[in-house]
Amino acid sequence: MGVQEDLDTLKRERATIKGKFTRKVTLYKEGVNRGDNLSVLKANYEEVLEAFEPLESKNEVLINFICDNNLDDTLEQEAQQYILDSERVKNALRAEIGKIENDQKATNKPQVKLRKFEPPKFEGNLRDYPTFKEDYKNLVTSMYGTDPYALKMYLGGEALQAVKGSEGDYD
């Protein structure tokens, strides 16, 4: 066989190995799109790594063949670019696993239960009125505006008795 035929054979072998690598990458990406479990994605990533190793090895054989036979430098550069592109794909998948792991850690943070929000209540004691007025203005008025029925909900005791007969005009 001639040098060109050997070169073509090595390229075909590399292309076959690259096909397997690409299939494993596609399988991994489909798993991500389906929302597969992290352990499944890691197993798929391991398969990608296993498919990458022979690709890298075959590419090195090709580069050595190009150098040993003093072939065109552009062929060597193409082979280098070929493996760099594959390496970038592999690294992008690893970064994606890291991102998914971080997202899962962020969602598994401890949660604090807070007491149910209790709106301000005014029972008629004038000493409590300034606090009630400030709380009511900040909390209730921002949600309901100046709705008189909202005010009635937050009154109790003497204050509620005072406004009961005013027909909704509490100003």
Q: Where are the domains of the chain?
A: 3-107, 114-171
Query: Would you state the pLDDT for residue 37?
Result: 87
Q: State the Cα–Cα distance between residues 56 and 51, nearest whole angstrom.
A: 9
pLDDT attached to residue 15: 92
- Compute how many other C-beta atoms are within 10 angstroms of the C-beta atom of residue 122: 21
Residues of the chain with pLDDT under 50: none
Q: Cα(7)–Cα(140) distance, rounded to whole angstroms?
A: 79
Handedness of CA 125, 127, 129, 132 (dihedral sign): negative
The whole-model pTM stands at 0.58
Determine the residue type at 139. Answer: L
pLDDT at 117: 67
Q: Which residues pair with 122 in a beta bridge?
A: 155
Residue whose C-alpha is closest to residue 45's, from 62, 64, 65, 25: 25
